[in-house]
Amino acid sequence: MLTTFIHTGDFHLGRPFTFKQQGNYYGKNRRKELWTAFEFTIEFANAKRIPLILIAGDLFDSANVLTMDVKRVAEAFGSLKQTQVVIITGNHDYHGDNSPYEKAIWPKNVYIFKEDVFRSVYIESLNTEIFGMSWVKNQYREFPERSFNALKLEDTRYNILLAHGEVGGQGTYLPLDLRLLESKGFDTIALGHIHKPGISPGKAAYCGSPVPLNFGETGEHGFLVSRIKVDTENQQFITTSGINPIPSRSYQTREIVVGPEQSYNEIIDMVVNCDSYEKRQQDFYRIQFTGFIDPEIQLDWIDEDLEEAFYYVETDTSRLEPDIDIEQLLEENKDNPVGQFLEALKNIQDPEVRKKAMIYSIEAMVGEGLLR
């Protein structure tokens, strides 16, 4: 009888991470941290004697994952003493011509679905049947309804549906109709693809990415642990699931509002005060500046000046505007070459480009002492 299981997926192992600042250094570190998260999951399963791990697709980031990385995963799964692993493939690691799953020999405790219609595997020792469908190409506009409708569930077994796709989606990422999935009477529906974990009031859950993969992935991440109780009176299984967090760096975005009266040092202080020292040395930070800045101040080298205060920091100044009254400047300089130059920029058609050209020119002239 199945008492507990782990539902995970969307690991994107082998991902080449990109960072705006020193991408090579941070990318390599993050790649390593992703492996640490994977190993944490394996160790957790071993220590807690979890009998089953479900992988809901996108275990690997792409077909280009290194053979040694695939073998590393196979070896880790093989090290599980009392755990069965059931895998479906997703849009990133689909089982096509160049399938990453062909790069290793998988241990006996691993079962991989390899077709894009619904099939099932029954684990007798756990009285559990897992119904799954894998990706064998990189897009699906339609759900394989016929094979789904043909599935027959045995009431006495614990029945799991495993799928990688987009609930309510209409694109090419395998649209899933939650009501249709639920109508079959599965005891649990383990989904992958959406990186934000979520458990529906019904029996469906997205496990989310085990650790955040970019600045868009905020909130809690980890793997789902589900516990099963048998309600003998009503002859049914009761499943309760929750996120087990994996220790990892998170991605933080902070908005810093700048005012025209602030000095460069004051701006630096505001950024540094955005979080505690411990947090700043731990997580990835993106600082988004907004507001108006003294045009004499240049933020071109602020990343370097913030370097020691953070493990990783990048800044975005695109929404910050210099505190300049362009119309007044034009009026004051209409009789000199500076004014004539600025006036000529007014001929630029695209309003966004025009504004930027004027602002950059004014900033440059202020910086060189030509304007004040």
* Selected range binding Mn ion among 52-60, 98-106, 232-240, 242-250, rule: CB under 5 A: 52-60
Q: Please say which residue, 103 or 164, places its beta carbon nearer to Mn ion.
A: 164
- C-beta of 297: minimal distance to Mn ion in Å? 43
Q: Which is nearer to Mn ion, 144 or 260 (CB)?
A: 144
- Closer by beta carbon to Mn ion, 107 or else 169: 169
Task: Say which residues have a Cβ less than 8 Å from residue 164's Cβ, sequence separation at least 6.
Answer: 9, 56, 57, 58, 88, 89, 90, 91, 134, 135, 174, 191, 192, 193
Q: With CB under 5 A as the contact rule, which of the stretches 21-29, 135-143, 189-197, 348-356 interacts with Mn ion?
A: 189-197
d(CA 296, CA 311): 29
Tell the smallest beta-carbon distance from residue 58 to Mn ion (Å). Answer: 4
Which residue stretch of 22-30, 32-40, 55-63, 342-350 sits at the interface with Mn ion (rule: CB under 5 A)? 55-63
- Closer by beta carbon to Mn ion, 91 or else 315: 91
- The first and second tokens of residue 337, run together, are 């070459």
Antiparallel, parallel or unpaired: β 175-176 and 158-164? unpaired
SS3 content of the chain, % helix, strand, coil (to 5): 30, 25, 45
Non-local (6+) Cβ contacts of 286 within 8 A are 215, 251, 252, 253, 254, 313, 314, 315, 316
Q: Which of residues 87-146 bind Mn ion (CB under 5 A)?
A: 90-91
**Whole-number minimum distance, CB 140 to Mn ion, in Å?**
11
Nearest to residue 93, comparing CAs of 122, 73, 123? Answer: 73
Q: Which is nearer to Mn ion, 52 or 174 (CB)?
A: 174
160 DSSP assignment: E
- Closest to Mn ion by CB, 91 vs 188, is 91
- Part of the chain binding Mn ion (CB under 5 A), chosen from 72-80, 132-140, 190-198, 298-306: 190-198
Backbone angles phi, psi at 327, to 5 degrees: -60, -40
Residue among 193, 195, 203, 221 that touches Mn ion (CB under 5 A): 193
Site string for Mn ion, 74-93 (x = CB under 5 A): ----------------xx--
CB nearer to Mn ion: pick between 133 and 365: 133
**Cβ-closest position to Mn ion:** 193
Q: Work out how close the CB of 211 gets to Mn ion at its nearest, in angstroms, rounded to a whole number.
A: 16
- Pair of tokens at residue 266: 């004051």
Asked whether position 58 contacts Mn ion by CB under 5 A, the answer is yes
Nearer to Mn ion (CB atom), residue 63 or residue 365: 63
- Continuous segment of H or E residues that includes residue 132: strand 128-132
β-bridge partners, 365: none
Q: Which stretch binds Mn ion (CB under 5 A): 191-199, 241-249, 286-294, 346-354?
A: 191-199
Cα 28 to Cα 203: distance, rounded to the nearest angstrom: 37
Cα–Cα dist 190/241, whole Å: 11
Q: Please give the size of the binding site for Mn ion, defined by CB under 5 A.
A: 4
Binding site for Mn ion (CB under 5 A): 58, 90-91, 193
